[in-house]
Amino acid sequence: MSGNIQLLSDTLAAARSEGRSALIAYLPAGFPTVDGGIEAAKAVFDGGADVVEIGLPHSDPVLDGPVIQTADDIALRGGVKIADVLRTVREAHRATGKPVLVMTYWNPIDRYGIERFTAELAEAGGAGCILPDLPVQESATWREHAGKHGLATVFVVAPSSKDARLAEITAAGSGFVYAASLMGVTGTRASVGAQAQDLVRRTKATTALPVCVGLGVSNAEQAAEVAQFADGVIVGSAFVKRLLASDGDLAAGLAGIRALAGELAEGVRKRS
């Protein structure tokens, strides 16, 4: 293992050695502005996040619920470009020394160029990419270039994934496995549910990679619940909600997400 993926793997292993789950935060690039998004990434790291995923805003999302879609719309109307996403990765990583990934749908990378994107993401200090809509059987070219540049390829598994399919996905992935806790889109929910625990159990039977759970976790209690069985807890919509609720007051929004990261970081440490 080489390059920036090592930092990601070491960070997840360090959390495990402390007897806890890692806290992984998701924030869209360019929201509320490019500079504001960079400060937001720094703020959640400062609050206690171990890893940050930077979303590449997309006009036609399949996984993102209304909260993240609202933020993406703001970013897109602001003219966010892939260069801004890469700048966000670069500055967040440089300021903290912590692992930063990009989460993106496949179409923007395909249009930008796989070799160009992987080279520039690695140069920016990115740890890898989460690709929710790239089928594993069509991912060989991406994985070749990602591997050449020391980038993780994180695939998403869902409760509907059969065991044989899980094995195929986890064999192709690296860094960690993103386990979608339920069928549906991103968003905060009253409970994460037993589906997530079963999916993690079935996924772990196929791989030694860490398995991190996302979709639905929004508070410390839910983070503590998921931390009982997952290697990482992924939170996105709850952070975006706090930024949206600040109504343009960036300082207040940053304070809100820093505080939320602190609460969630306490949650992932409450493993029984």
Provide the 3-class DSSP secondary structure of residue 176: coil
* Gap between the Cα atoms of 156 and 136, Å rounded: 10
- Token look-up 């860490």 returns 210
* Gap between the Cα atoms of 175 and 155, Å rounded: 9
Identify whether 32 is preceded by a cis peptide bond (ω within 30 of 0): yes
For residues 98-125, b (16+ Cβ closer than 10 Å) or e, as one string? bbbbbbbbbebbeebebeebbebbbebb
Instruction: Compute φ and ψ for 74, nearest 5 degrees.
Output: -60, -45
Instruction: Compute φ and ψ for 51, nearest 5 degrees.
Output: -140, 145
Instruction: Compute φ and ψ for 139, nearest 5 degrees.
Output: -105, 5
Report the catalytic residues.
Answer: 53, 64
Using alpha carbons, list the distances in angstroms from residue 141 to 82, 103, 116. Answer: 20, 18, 13
**Nearest alpha carbon to residue 219 among 259, 251, 263, 187:** 263
Query: Does the CA dihedral 42-43-47-48 come out positive or negative?
Result: negative
* Gap between the Cα atoms of 242 and 145, Å rounded: 36
* Gap between the Cα atoms of 38 and 56, Å rounded: 13
